[in-house]
Structure formats: C-alpha cells, structure tokens
Amino acid sequence: MVPVLSLKFPMKTKVIIIDDHSLFNDGMSLILKESGLFEVIEQIYDSRQAQTKCFSLKPDLIVMDYNMPYLDGLEVVRQLNTSGNDTKIVIVSMYADKKEIELFKKEGVGAYITKTTPATQLIETLKKVMEGEKLFESKNKAKIIIEKDNFALKHQLTKREMEVLRLIKQEETTEKIAETLNLSFYTVETHRKNINHKLKFKTKKEFYAFLETLEE
C-alpha cells in the first residue's frame, strides 16, 4: 500500500474588507485573492455592520476605508478596540489629514496607505504589517502610473478618461479639453460624468486631493 504524503501549506491571512464603494471593495478583494497570501472571508459595505461581523468572524487583518457614510474608519477602529479586538488594521483611503493619520497611530492602526498605491506595494505593506511593522504613507508622496495603473484598472477608468483627468488637473475648461483631444464638447462632458460616477468622491475636496496625486 502506497503511503499517503501529508503536505503542509502555509496558512493564508484571513481578511475582512470594509469599504462602502462596491467597485473598490471588489477590486481589493480580487487583488488580495490573486496574491495567494490572503483569504477574504467577508466584504462589508456598510460600516455599521463592522463591529458585529469582525467580532464574530475574528479575522487576522482588516483592510478599511476612512471616508465612509454612517461611521468613518476612525470610529470603526475605536469600536473594534473597545471590543477587545487584537486584529491588525490597515487604513486604505483617498484622503486623510496629518492630524487624522496621527489619530490612527494612536489607536494602534498598523498602516495608512492611499488608494493610489500600486497593487504590488499594497501586498508588501500588508505582509509587513502582519509581521509587526507600522507603516504610514504620506499622501503627498503617492503617485499614479497612468498607462497600467491598478487604480485605473480597479475603477475601470479608460485611457481617454485618464487623459481628461490630467487636463482637468491643469484647470482646462471642457471646451479646451475638447479642442486638445479633438473631441466634441458633448463627448468630454460624457467622459466627465462617467469619471464622477466611477470614482464616487463625496466632496470636491476629495476630488482635488486625488488630482494632486495624478501624474501629468
């Protein structure tokens, strides 16, 4: 009788993702799953459900947005801390002030990184956090690689939409953008509406903070 060999595979890190933007939440889940290092055990789209589900499922890692309706990321972190939660937490957000980042540190968050971070860097950051490191990225250093950027891919932004975004950053009017890209005024307006629909920024402040990270 041939003996059966027992193969031991490394355990994957169990992750819960908390983000009200479905497209980003699903994109994050796909990136983590494809890395082969993480098992996404729950995706939460309503921050009010975070405390109950995290307490019940007991993940190794929580990856969470900061700007969310109902409860923002900082409020969720504080809820989890009062529940005796020792799960590692990483905040992935488009915008946070220096003061807020300092509050994350005070509450024991493992890392803060921006949503413009490439997928490979995201995975490396999560690995380091699981090893006990603390990492806080300055939003001023975050950049986007235009052609094959993971952010553009996750949000299904086309190359043309990225071109329109770059021109918006240069404070060009719709008329000027249409002239520069050899498009009609109506087509540019449609691109702008599609961009707004895909990115779903809640305020102009978030949108302009994003534009500052955009390479021209």
Q: Which domain holds residue 201?
A: 150-212
Domain presence at residue 159: yes
Number of domains comprising the chain: 2
- List the one residue out of 125, 189, 36 whose CA is nearest residue 181: 189
Final residue in a domain of this structure, among 123, 141, 159: 141
Q: What is the pLDDT of residues 77-136, one digit of tens each?
A: 999 988 777 799 999 987 666 778 888 989 999 999 888 888 898 999 999 999 998 888
Same domain assignment for residues 98 and 31:
yes
Final residue in a domain of this structure, among 109, 141, 173: 141
Same domain assignment for residues 59 and 134:
yes
Q: Where are the beta strands (DSSP E) in the chain?
A: 13-18, 38-44, 61-64, 88-93, 111-114, 135-136
Question: Considering the entire predicted model, what is its pTM?
Answer: 0.61
Whole-number pLDDT of residue 27: 92
Domain presence at residue 74: yes
Give the domain CATH number at 207. Answer: 1.10.10.10
Same domain assignment for residues 24 and 43:
yes
Q: Which residue has the higher pLDDT, 7 or 61?
A: 61
Average per-residue pLDDT in the chain? 82
Domain presence at residue 180: yes
Q: How many other CB atoms are there within 10 angstroms of residue 118's CB atom? A: 16
Same domain assignment for residues 54 and 134:
yes
DSSP 123-154: HHHHHHHHTT--EE--GGG----STT-HHHHH
Whole-number pLDDT of residue 115: 83
Domain presence at residue 52: yes
Give the amino acid at 152: A
Same domain assignment for residues 202 and 104:
no
Same domain assignment for residues 131 and 104:
yes
Same domain assignment for residues 80 and 111:
yes
Same domain assignment for residues 68 and 37:
yes
* Rounded Cα–Cα distance for residues 123 and 36 (Å): 10
* 104 contacts: CB under 8 Å, gap ≥ 6: 73, 74, 77, 91, 96, 112, 136
Would you mind telling me the total number of residues written for the chain in this entry? 216
Same domain assignment for residues 39 and 104:
yes
Same domain assignment for residues 131 and 157:
no
C-alpha Rg value of the chain to the nearest Å: 20
Same domain assignment for residues 95 and 189:
no
Whole-number pLDDT of residue 183: 85
Same domain assignment for residues 72 and 20:
yes
